[in-house]
Amino acid sequence: MSKPHALIALLILLLAGPCNAAVMTGWVVWVVDGDTLHLMDKAGERHRIRLAGINAPEKGKAFSQGARDRLVSLAQGKEASVYWEKVDKYDRIVGKVVVDSRDINLAIIRAGYARWYRRFAHEQSQVDRMLYENAERTARQGRVGIWGGAR
């Protein structure tokens, strides 16, 4: 991505955050799989976070380890902000994880290790829906990660 495009994408990301979302900050202390991690907040409390808007392969399925490894490389041990509005039935906070001004959820889709979770598209901003859908389409067309066919 060129510098002007990266700057525009960053501005969109910053402006497109959920309006009513709560924000939690802390450090990513554990990555469970390609779409779930643990965040330790500044008070020392540990939270299970489910990355909103994406669906990575489940443990034991093709590409599940690649998805987990990619999330580790993007977030493990780093300070993160989580923009969230709900808790799922497994008591996980569901939100957008941002590390160094980068939408990690979107990065996992771009890398080809997750699908855009259309079932919950109505919970995303219009801009995020567009970005996530385009990222999945590009990953499919580029045959990267889960779209490449090879394990």
- 3-147 topology per CATH: OB fold (Dihydrolipoamide Acetyltransferase, E2P) (2.40.50)
The helix (run of H) or strand (run of E) holding residue 6 is: helix 3-15
- Residues whose CB is less than 8 angstroms from the CB of residue 143 and which lie 6 or more positions away in sequence, other chains included: 149
pTM to 2 decimals? 0.84
Strands 79-87 and 22-33: antiparallel
Sequence ranges of the domains in the chain: 3-147
- Residues whose CB is less than 8 angstroms from the CB of residue 41 and which lie 6 or more positions away in sequence, other chains included: 24, 25, 26, 47
The pLDDT tens digits of the residues spanning 49-91 come to: 999 999 999 999 999 999 999 999 999 999 999 999 999 999 9
Catalytic residue list: 50, 58, 92
pLDDT band at residue 21 under the 50/70/90 scheme: confident
Residue type, 79: E
